[in-house]
Amino acid sequence: MNREVPQLLQLTTRPLVIAGPCSVENEAQIHATAAMLAKEHVSILRGGVWKPRSRPGTFSGIGKEALDWLVAAAQTNGLYSAVEVATAEHVAQSLAAGVDILWIGARSTVSPFVVQEIADALQGINIPVLIKNPINPDLELWMGAIERIQQAGITNIAAIHRGFSSFDKKQYRNVPHWEIPLELKRRMPDIPLICDPSHICGTKDLIAHVAQRAMDLNFDGLMIEAHHAPEQALSDKEQQLSPKELGDLLRNLVIRDVHSDNELFVNQLLLLRKKIDKLDFDTLELLAERNKLVKDIGRYKKENNVSIFQPDRWAEIVQTRSKYGQEIGLSEELISDLLKGIHRESIHLQTQILNNTKEK
C-alpha cells in the first residue's frame, strides 16, 4: 500500500516523461493506455479525473471513482500515477486513493486563493507536486504558486510549461513564450522544468517539434497526452498521441548534453563567450552614448518649445533601421524589440527634461 515517494529527477535518464490520457474515461481505457506506455520511455502515468473544461456541457471527468483505476493501472504496469487537483477535497481524495504525484493546472495556478487552499491541504504531506504555468503570461503568479506550495513544506516540486492563452489561436493553442520558463529557471534554478507540448500545440502535428525545442533548451522532462485510441478520446482529442506515436517521438528526440568535458570544446566556448561579453558591454556603452544625445535633444526641444514625440522622425527611424538591420542579418523581431526599448527610453528621458523632473 505505502509506495516509496518518487524523487522526480531520479526516476530515469533525461527526459523524465509523464504521459497518459487527457482524462481517465473508464477502467479499460486507462489500463490499455498504461500497458502500452509502459513499453516506452515513460515513468509517470497522467490522467485527469476532474476536468476544468472551458465550456460547460462537455465531458468533465469521471471524478473520484476514476482515481482507483488510475492508481491500479499505474501500479500494474510499474508506473507512478499523477492527477490534477484543484481543491482541498481533490487533494484528500487523491491521497486516500494512493496517487503518487499531484499537479496543479493552469486555471488553478492563476488564482492565489485556489493555490493557497491546495497548499493548506498539503501541509505536512510528502508528495511531489507539479505546477503548471498560469494561463496568462505572468511569471510572478507562477512563482507565487511555487512559493505557496514550498511554504507548505513540499520540497519535491517541478514546474510545467504549457503555454499561455491568447485570442489568436492560429499557430498554437497556447503560445509558448519560451522566455518565461527560461526566466523562471534563472530565478528558481533548483526547480526542474517540464514542457507540456500537447497543451501548447492543441493538435498532433507540432508536438514533436515543440518537444525537441524543449530538449534543446535543456528542459528536464515532458508531459504529453497519449490515449490508446485517440480518435475516441472524450477530451482534447485532436492533441492526443497514440502510445506508438509517442514512442516514435521519444525515439527521435535528440537529447543534448548540458555540459561537455571535451577540452577543445570548452576552450572554444570560453573564447567565443569572451568575445560576446565584450560586444555586450560595447553595446551598453553605445546605448549610454545614445542616451546622452537624446538628453541634448530634449533640452534643445525644451528651449524651442517643441513637443517630444515627432511621428515623422519615429516612422523614419523604424523604416531605415528595420531595412538596414535585416540587410545585415538581424531578425525583424529583434529589431522591433530593440527599437521599442530605445524609443521608450528616449521618450522617458525627454519627458523628464521637459517637466523638470529628476534627470539622471
Binding residues with Mn ion: total (CB under 5 A): 2
State the minimum distance, in angstroms, from the CB of residue 234 to ligand PEP.
12
Q: Which of residues 59 and 300 has its CB atom nearest to Mn ion in the complex?
A: 59
State the minimum distance, in angstroms, from the CB of residue 232 to ligand PEP.
17
> Does residue 25 belong to the site contacting Mn ion (CB under 5 A)?
no
- Give the interface segment with ligand PEP, choosing from 32-40, 103-111, 183-191, 240-248 (CB under 6 A): 103-111
> Does residue 105 belong to the site contacting ligand PEP (CB under 6 A)?
yes
- Give the interface segment with Mn ion, choosing from 20-28, 73-81, 202-210, 352-360 (CB under 5 A): 20-28
> Does residue 90 belong to the site contacting ligand PEP (CB under 6 A)?
no
Count of CB atoms situated within 10 Å of the CB of 302: 15
Helix axes 139-151, 179-187, angle to 10 degrees: 40
> Does residue 162 belong to the site contacting ligand PEP (CB under 6 A)?
yes
State the minimum distance, in angstroms, from the CB of residue 178 to ligand PEP.
16
- Cα–Cα distance between 183 and 352 in angstroms, integer? 31
Site for ligand PEP in 31-70 (CB under 6 A): 48, 52
Locate 4 and state its grid cell. 516509496
- Cα–Cα distance between 44 and 136 in angstroms, integer? 27
Query: By rule CB under 6 A, what string of x and - marks binding of each residue 118-137 to ligand PEP?
Result: --------------x-----
- Give the interface segment with ligand PEP, choosing from 28-36, 59-67, 100-108, 208-216 (CB under 6 A): 100-108
CB closest to ligand PEP, residue no = 105
Choice from 17, 19, 22, 194 touching ligand PEP (CB under 6 A): 22
State the minimum distance, in angstroms, from the CB of residue 51 to ligand PEP.
6
> Does residue 227 belong to the site contacting ligand PEP (CB under 6 A)?
no
- Cα–Cα distance between 226 and 61 in angstroms, integer? 16
- Give the interface segment with ligand PEP, choosing from 102-110, 123-131, 283-291, 298-306 (CB under 6 A): 102-110
Binder of residue 41, out of Mn ion, ligand PEP, none (CB less than 5 to 8 A by kind):
none
Choice from 17, 19, 22, 184 touching Mn ion (CB under 5 A): 22
> Does residue 199 belong to the site contacting ligand PEP (CB under 6 A)?
yes
Alpha-carbon separation of residue 100 from 1, 229, 235, 358 (angstroms): 11, 25, 23, 57
State the minimum distance, in angstroms, from the CB of residue 103 to ligand PEP.
7
Q: What are φ and ψ of residue 23, in 5° steps?
A: -125, 145
Q: Which of residues 48 and 181 has its CB atom nearest to ligand PEP in the complex?
A: 48
State the minimum distance, in angstroms, from the CB of residue 212 to Mn ion.
21
Site for Mn ion in 189-228 (CB under 5 A): none
Which residues bind to Mn ion, rule: CB under 5 A?
22, 236
Which residues bind to ligand PEP, rule: CB under 6 A?
22, 48, 52, 105-107, 132, 162, 199
